Amino acid sequence: MRLPLAMATIGLAALAGTAAPSLPAAAKDRVVVGMQAEPPVLDPTINAAAAIDSIVSGNIFESLTLIDDRGGVVPGLADSWTVSADGRVVTFRLPEKVTFHNGRALTSEDVRLAFARAMAPDSVNASKKIFQPIEAVETPDPRTVVVRLKQPTSIFLFSMAAGDAAITATETVEQNRTRPVGSGPFRFKEWVKGDRVVIERYPGHRHADRIRMREAVFKFIPDASAQVAALLAGDVDAFPVIGAPESLARFQRDPRFKVVIGTTEGEVILALNNARKPFDDIRVRRAVNHALDRKALVDGAMFGYGTPIGSHFPPHHPAYVDLTGRYPHDIARAKALLAEAGFPNGFETTVKPPPFTYARRGAEVIAAQLAQAGIKVRIEPIEWAQWLDIVYKQRNYDMTIVAHTSPYDMDNYVRGPNYYYGYRNQELDALMKRIDAEVDASRLHALYGDAQRMIAEDAVHGFLFQLAKTGVYAAGLRGYGQNEPIVQTELWQWSWAGQP
């Protein structure tokens, strides 16, 4: 599972309404990328924050596979692979020359050890489930990795592209939290806490001659208005997901920028603590869902950017089932359900939104909507590090708003009551096991539909909308993707117009 993604200095040019001067595009080999959230660490194998993957996945660290802009699986660290006829043996072939940024050669043994760490009983990997199908990892020679699976698994190759499956060196495991060492096309340069992470092109990478950016700076700007100001001032060259959707029309009119709207895997949910009263009562959870007006939420908080959802699944996937009609906006029905549950006058509760635009603005809209049904909501904003600790780890919350950005992450609902949802459904557990083992596309899609319906029927959360990828880029930039089928910033493809 991946959970979503510093005030900038506003130059005098921005205050005057004009752009600050910049180098001619042909002279650039450096890019500044704006991000709303600063990652808590820089090792994607030990923490669930998507902000980590946005910086390091595919850039500093490599996984065996990569995901292209259309969601297809393509070579990553592995040059190629073959799958046995029964689907239970996947053989990966590594390139002839791969080195970690410390100069040591990377071999198949490093892959085996990285997977062993992720699969260990004491592993803190946020997506340990993607390794569960693995029965054994064999290394017949330094360039060959043979993965034997307990059963055919439909999304195994896709899962191997995740940051959670990054191949790390045993000797750098401890330092990867703050000074990561990978094998990717960029190496770590510096982390100025509260401001930026800087990475630079790694000259020892096997594809170094194809990498056009000499240096990339990830600038942390949590405030939405400061994000806009930083772009206008030329302090930031790109914001792959800008936190101020109301600004997009302005950037679309400005020839200095290109606005790119795409899809993400981020299901935005009003998470309800199913282990805490009154949300342990399905009637209360259903009442909450009837009180929500998803279209009004998307329009009010996101200026129309986002697609309403009725369960935990992305609308762009062929297995998607539109369940937005399961709980139509109906205040009278919401009040009736609350009365049945013993709350004829409603109740008081809290929502803890993290510092993302969709969460903070969404909390205001949702509080007003729930108030119509008699649910009085106190908004308690918290910072991202607090959210990861208080909500995600301690499960100390009533409601929160968050986007789950990992693909195929319905397995969150079978993690049991110790997961922060506090939810358990043994029928869903059995269904997800069938999904894990199904390889026929049509049957798999049907099973995904059943799972979507089951989660919606249980009203586990208030399912809100699919997060759009609202990117703003300097007009001279090239190579970025439109969509975000997996969390990453594909800097190895980026260039400035005019570069050789």
Q: Pick from 499, 495, 493: which is nearest to 59 by CA?
A: 493
| pLDDT value of position 4 | 65
Which residue stretches of the chain have pLDDT < 70? 1-27
Give residue-wise pLDDT tens across range 24-60: 333 489 999 999 999 999 999 999 889 999 999 999 9
For 48, list phi and psi in degrees, rounded to 5: -90, -5
Question: How many Å apart are CA 167 and CA 112, to the nearest integer?
Answer: 9
Residue 3, token pair as written in the block: 């959970």
**Topology (CATH) of 265-468:** Dipeptide-binding Protein; domain 3 (3.10.105)
Structure tokens given for 205: 């990478």
Could you state, in order of their start, the residue ranges of all structural domains in the chain?
29-59+175-263+475-496, 65-172, 265-468
Contacts of 72 (CB under 8 A, 6+ apart): none
Query: How many other C-beta atoms lie within 10 A of the C-beta of residue 168?
Result: 25
Answer for the pair 52, 39: CB distance below 8 angstroms, yes or no. Answer: yes
DSSP string, 115-128: HHHHHSTT---TTG
* Cα–Cα nearest to 357, from 421, 298, 296: 298
CA distances from 219 to 38, 385, 412, 427 (A): 9, 18, 31, 45
For the question of whether the overall pTM of this predicted structure is more than 0.75, the answer is yes
The CA distance from 320 to 313, in Å, is 6
Q: Are 118 and 125 in contact (CB under 8 A)?
A: yes
DSSP assignment, residue 3? B
User: How is residue 369 written in tokens?
Assistant: 């909507």
CATH of span 29-59+175-263+475-496: 3.40.190.10
Separation of alpha carbons 177 and 171, rounded Å = 13
Fold classification of 65-172 (topology level): Dipeptide-binding Protein; domain 1 (3.90.76)
Closest CA to 222 of 356, 352, 354: 356
Q: What pLDDT sits at residue 48?
A: 85
388: nearest Cα among 23, 40, 137: 40
Two structure tokens written together for 278:
């009154």
Q: What is the pLDDT at residue 18?
A: 36
Read off the tokens for 306. 């986002």
| Segments in 349-402 forming alpha helices (H) | 357-371, 384-386
CA 428, distance to chain mean position in Å, is 23
Question: SS in 3 state form for 327-345?
Answer: CCCCHHHHHHHHHHCCCCC
pLDDT in tens, 74-120: 999 999 999 999 999 999 999 999 999 999 999 999 999 999 999 99
Find the helix packing angle between 357-371 and 294-302, rounded to 10°.
Answer: 140
Could you tell me which residues come within 8 angstroms of residue 442 by beta carbon, excluding any fewer than 6 positions away?
none
3-state secondary structure of 135: strand
